[in-house]
Amino acid sequence: MTAPLTPSEPANSAAMPTIRMMPKANARAVRHGAPWVYTNELVVDRRTKNLAPGTIARLEDAERQPLGVVAVNPLSKIIARMLDQDADAVIDQTWIEKRIARALDLRNRAYDAPFYRLIHAEADGLPGVVIDRFGDTCVVQPNAAWAEVMIEPLCAALQSVTGVTNVLKNAGGRTRTLEGLDDISSVLAGQAPDAPLPVPMNGAIYMADLMAGQKTGLFYDQRPNHAFAAGLSKGARVLDVFAHVGGFSLAALAAGAESALAVDGSAPALELATQGADAMDMADRFATRQGDAFDTLAALRNEGAQFDVVICDPPAFAPSRNALEAGLRAYERIARLAAPLVAENGILGLCSCSHAADLGQFRTASSRGIGRAGRRGILLHTGFAGPDHPQLPQLAESGYLKSLFFRL
């Protein structure tokens, strides 16, 4: 763990330091919307190295032409994150409020209840910041140094724009480690809920543990894919692997599935899934099985189990380029183990949240696994995250989620 960063005053243009890109760096990409500048693209002299993580600075190209205002972190490979293409922008609470208000307008158009991802980092103009909303409570992940430094105006802006009472900070995750940040979560405003919160989505009820659950407590990104799978699940026997709090299985039950079995390695997550089924009065059609997903898939095959709909939604097997080959093998193995459990003319859904594995690579690995299992399938649907997880076209990482639905 590292010590928390020291809060700073809002950056005004007169006091901002200036950093400059290397002559051979692609400044044009930054002008056209690329949100990151890496250490090998920047002139990293002693002065730049000594800038405190989270410093707001003006970025120039090699000819000293302004590119905009950036957040600097000399401890990170992403040394500069674009905040505003206006080189005179003042990064303060008012600036943050405008970004949050714009994001809120989109969510209000897309959803009829305040349960969604409110801020999706770079795509919503707040690089490294993730905010998930659960009614009157928001969970903030400040995954970049500048957001950690400005956490107080960020919290104030969030409350001012949305009117939420409770703001929690989640400091877990690999990204904060890469930024040199600590892992200390806290309550920024109001109070933490003393029990899991019920979240209505796709006709189901999910129980979100905002303080002790994974990430912010619930994965909103799969909402449209939950809905698609649920639409094929009426009267079906459903297997939900890597189920977390019952994402696919509870949506399927809400849509009229005959039964659903949720598999996960986490006992607390499965307990939350069970609570969700209870809240839906569907506990008699819902079951859980704790264990390693690979081992459980193999065991179910040995037991002769068959399901009409099988969904596998694993964690990121390829979280970086270095892990890509091993990750693709893992996706292939999942498909190979899951395919035999799908009844004739049944549905197999395979998901990936690995940004390092693009759609083509993931589709190839999945199809190979299905073939190695002796099955043949047609691809019915390719799904992505919903509109509360917008993609920045210049940043492949923002389009990380892929879901493939096959009929076998």
Q: Give this prediction's pTM.
A: 0.93
**Residue range 178-234, pLDDT digits in tens:** 899 999 999 999 999 999 999 999 999 999 999 887 778 899 999 999 999 999 999
Q: Is the dihedral of CA 219, 221, 225, 227 positive or negative?
A: positive
| Token pair for 364 | 């190839």
Residue written as tokens 């994001």? 103
Tell whether the model's pLDDT for residue 8 goes beyond 70: no
Question: CA-CA distance, 264 to 270, in Å (whole number)?
Answer: 7
Written as one letter, the residue type at 358 is D
pLDDT value, residue 362: 97
116 and 390 in contact (C-beta within 8 Å)?
A: no
Tell whether the model's pLDDT for residue 1 goes beyond 60: no
Per the rule left: phi > 0, alpha: psi between -120 and 50, beta: everything else, 304 is left
Which residues make beta-bridge pairs with 253? none
**Residue range 337-367, pLDDT digits in tens:** 999 999 999 999 999 999 999 999 999 999 9
What are the structural domains of the chain?
Answer: 18-84 (2.30.130.10), 93-189 (3.30.750.80), 197-407 (3.40.50.150)
pLDDT value, residue 6: 54
Tell whether the model's pLDDT for residue 9 goes beyond 70: no
